[in-house]
Chains A and B, each alone.
Chain A
Amino acid sequence: MKTKRHRKWGRFLAFLAIIAVVIGLTAGTSMKVWKHIPLGLDLQGGFELLYQIQASPDKPLTPDGVKAAVQAIELRVNNLGTGSPNIELEGSDQVRVQLAGTFNQAEAERVIGQTADLRMYGNATQDKTGKWVPDEKTLLATGADLKPNSRWAQDPTTGQNVVTLEFKDAKKWQDITTKYLQKPIYVFLNGQLLTAPTIQSVMSNGQSEIYGPTLNTPEACNELAKELNAGALPYPLKLISSTNVGPSLGFASLKATMWAGAAAILLIFLFMLVLYRAAGLIANVALVAYLYLVLLTFAGMHVVLTLPGLAALVLGVGMAVDANIITYERIKDEMRNGKSLQSSVIAGNKRALRTIIDSNATTFIAGAVMYWFGQGDIRGFAVALMISIVVSMLTAVLLSRAMLLLFTKSGVAARPWWYGAGKGVVQS
């Protein structure tokens, strides 16, 4: 007959193997995974701009129009050439632009926010102050009629700096040049008269060029060309909120929070070891797996890690630990009720599971509502919280349970002491 002392070393080896795999995988690849997680502005510095897309009475917002506006902003941001910009539509009419790193922020804001509003009119008059005012009724074409291939060029005959344009609809330009042959057309840029060339010939290939006193350098031409290519924004944008974080401040915050997080996790490890001994060790291994999986999920889903997100992650450790504490306390209860170690572990695991599911589901609901209603940092926090809950269900429940059962069934440590139970526990 088998005795209680009988030890199954195979199971114990399997148990050790799980520990080795978890620790090995984490130690080996976590740095690589970490590098794939995009850091939020508060952690690496940068700036965030929140724009409102403004509708006007004659131009109400349409889903297609909003999409076009977001695309136009994307093009412009890409033209800035900064690393990993993040642009998202929030609500129905707000666009959040996040740019990380160091660069000329004022310049970036100007480029993103300002519309290269190019308009051509058939008629314009000078007011008393000498300012040219277009005759709105004679609007011929806008930047929206152009193909996104404008560029700087030099006129072969005059050597003048010009911006080449190509109309999407060649016929439209042909009609305009036919109608205004030998007459001037008025080109306005952002409400300022740029140039008023006289049409010399009918253009049938849709190509044209513009020049003017402010387009006297290749740089100025290039910039206008870029803005035109970025597409005329269908709607004007209004900057409604902005956040600027200095890069060194972000780095200091990241470092401080990382160290604090590491210290907190170490303290939790110690706490669990002291309280639950071998079972605590299992909980700690499950915690390592938890942290690793959360980081992996962050990297895989491209979740932007912000300071509150980092805090949620460390808090998630607390929640993951809670699942283990619930289980272990339950096992102790079962032992107190006189069950054997093995059946206590099995019953404790089973009974704790329902509690864990109910309590985690309610917290998950809170996270989901936060994501639904939140914006910016809150959303990052909510995502981090929800991921932590799901991952902790996998590690603190499934992994930890498998390890605990293997460990118990191996019979290597049969004394309740190893499970954090005191002397008063009845042993059968």
Chain B
Amino acid sequence: MKARFDIVARRRWFFLLSGAITVLGLAAFLLFGFNLGADFRAGSRVQMQLNEPVDVQKVRDMFDKIGLSVPQGGVTVAGTRNDMAVVRFPEVLTQDQIAKINQAEKQTFPKSAGADVRTVNPIVAQQTSRKAVWAVLLASLFIVVYVSIRFEYRFAISGIVALLHDAFIVMSVFALLRLEVDLTFVAAILTIVGYSINDTIVIFDRIRENLRIAKPRSFSDLERLVDKSLWQTMSRSINTVVTVLIAAVTLYFFGGQTIHNFNLALIVGLVSGAYSSIFIASPLWVAWRGRQMRRSAPEKHPA
């Protein structure tokens, strides 16, 4: 066999790496928490595509003129070219106020493409966040059931650990960068969950197939088999993530502003998903399966 990087043998390094990232992510949550978007936090959010560099004072003045006081730190600058202003209000704006905003915006910022105004009341905000968490958990549960039926429960659990790892990394990045978390973010997390498990299953499928051809008799046999499976599927893993990344990166840089964060979440999640499918899910399965093998094997196969 050609000399190549032995992934399974070095699994402890990857577990350590992912563990470190997880701890960092947890710290980020505890320190910063989420920057919840209008979908999860009661109040109003006005997003204005100004098509010119945002002058925060000018934005504030505009709102003052129509009798709306912008709270401290209520204006955020966003967009790839810093040409988008996001203004938050703790209160729910009325349709009359929204009409006024649209009018004032056209006068103050002639290049502006208009505003996207969202208002949410507390009950809905709470309901939405609860639904989001349930969606991720339930999706995982159904995936576990399906994979357990088609493969075995160890594969299912290892795959779920990998996908939760990916979802967690994306959430950590958003907490760290103070990026806004809204409903499309939830859609992004769910897509990542879908992609991550999709990617993992392809590798698991190859392991399952190789297991049928050669029955490993010892733990090192098993390690070799999984490592071989990983390398057999490697070019597919890379080629696929590259194609999906091509789409996500292009949409990130040139797509509509409202899906900007969505695409960033996807990019982070896709990279993490490809990584965890190769370096976490399968090695985890080996460690787990191998432990049981070592427990039952010694009498039959003394070393």
CA distance in complex: A325, B199 (Å): 12
The answer to the question of A29 belonging to the interface, with a C-beta cut-off of 8 Å to chain B, is no
Contact B254 A377 (CB under 8 A): no
Q: Are B250 and A267 in contact (CB under 8 A)?
A: yes
Nearest-CB residue, chain B, relative to A322: B240
Looking at B24-32, B118-126, B281-289, B292-300, the stretch in contact with chain A turns out to be B118-126
CB neighbors of A among B208-245 (8 A): 209, 232-233, 235-236, 239-240, 242-244
Roughly how many angstroms separate A333 CA and B233 CA in the complex, as a whole number?
A: 10
- In the complex, whether B138 has a CB less than 8 A from a CB of chain A is yes
Q: Chain A: which residue is nearest B199 at the CB level?
A: A359
- B116 at interface, CB cutoff 8 A: yes
Give the complex CA separation of A377 and B116 in angstroms. 14
CA gap between A325 and B237 in the complex, in Å = 9
Contact A363 B198 (CB under 8 A): yes
Give the residues in chain A near B102, CB-CB below 8 Å: 244, 246
Q: Which of A257, A370, A374 contacts B255 (CB 8 A)?
A: A257
Decide yes or no: A246 and B115 within 8 Å by CB, A260-B253, A355-B201, A385-B194 being known contacts. Answer: yes
Kindly report which residue of chain A lies nearest to residue B182, judged by CB atoms: A377
A45 touches B114 (CB 8 A): yes
A219-260 contact mask (Cβ, 8 Å, vs B): 1 or 0: 000000000000000000000111111111110111011011
Residues of A within 8 A of B153 (CB): none
Minimal beta-carbon separation of B3 from chain A (angstroms): 16
Residues on B with C-beta less than 8 A from A109 are 95
* Total chain A interface residues with beta-carbon distance under 8 A: 76
Is there contact, CB below 8 Å, between A377 and B184? yes
Of all chain A residues, which has the CB nearest B123? A240
List the B residue with the shortest CB-CB distance to A357.
Answer: B150
User: B254 to chain A: closest CB distance in Å?
Assistant: 4
Please give, as numbers and ranges, the residues of chain B lying within 8 Å of A314 by CB-CB distance: 247, 251
With contacts A241-B124, A359-B201, A377-B184 taken as known, whether A370 is within 8 angstroms of B251 at the C-beta atoms is no
- Chain B residues lying within 8 Å of A351, measured Cβ to Cβ, are 209
Q: Within the complex, what minimum Cβ distance (angstroms) separates A372 from chain B? A: 8
**Of A104, A105, A268, A378, which is within 8 A of B246 by CB?**
A268
Contact A247 B190 (CB under 8 A): no
Interface of B is mostly: helix
Partner of B191, one of A50, A360, A385: A385
- Closest A residue, CB atoms, query B245: A318
The reply to whether B118 and A249 form a contact with Cβ atoms under 8 Å apart is no
Residue on A nearest B198 in the bound complex, by CB: A359
* Residue from A322, A361, A372 whose CB has the most chain B CB atoms within 10 Å: A322
Query: C-beta contact mask, B132-143 vs A, less than 8 Å → 1, else 0?
Result: 101100110011
B146 contacts partner chain A, Cβ-Cβ < 8 Å: yes
The answer to whether B262 touches A378, judged by C-beta atoms less than 8 angstroms apart, is: no
Residue of A nearest to B270 (CB): A318
B232 proximity list for chain A (CB < 8 A): 333
Nearest chain B CB to A60's CB is how many angstroms away? 18
A370→B187 contact, CB < 8 A: yes
**Minimum CB distance partner of B45 in chain A:** A243
Partner of B98, one of A106, A240, A372: A106
- Residues of A in contact with B (beta carbons under 8 Å apart): 42, 45, 50, 52, 104-106, 109-110, 240-250, 252-254, 256-257, 259-261, 263-265, 267-268, 271-272, 275, 307-308, 311-312, 314-315, 317-319, 321-322, 325-326, 329, 333, 351, 354-355, 358-363, 365-370, 372-378, 381-382, 385
Q: Which residues of B contact A (CB under 8 A)?
A: 49, 94-96, 98-99, 102, 113-121, 123-124, 128, 131-132, 134-135, 138-139, 142-143, 146-147, 150, 183-184, 186-187, 190-191, 193-195, 197-199, 201-202, 205-206, 209, 232-233, 235-236, 239-240, 242-244, 246-248, 250-251, 253-259, 262-263, 266
What are 21 residue pairs bridging A and B, where the CB atoms are less than 8 Å apart in the complex?
A106-B99, A241-B119, A241-B121, A245-B114, A245-B115, A264-B251, A268-B246, A314-B247, A318-B240, A322-B243, A329-B235, A329-B239, A354-B205, A359-B205, A360-B198, A362-B143, A362-B146, A363-B197, A374-B187, A375-B183, A377-B184
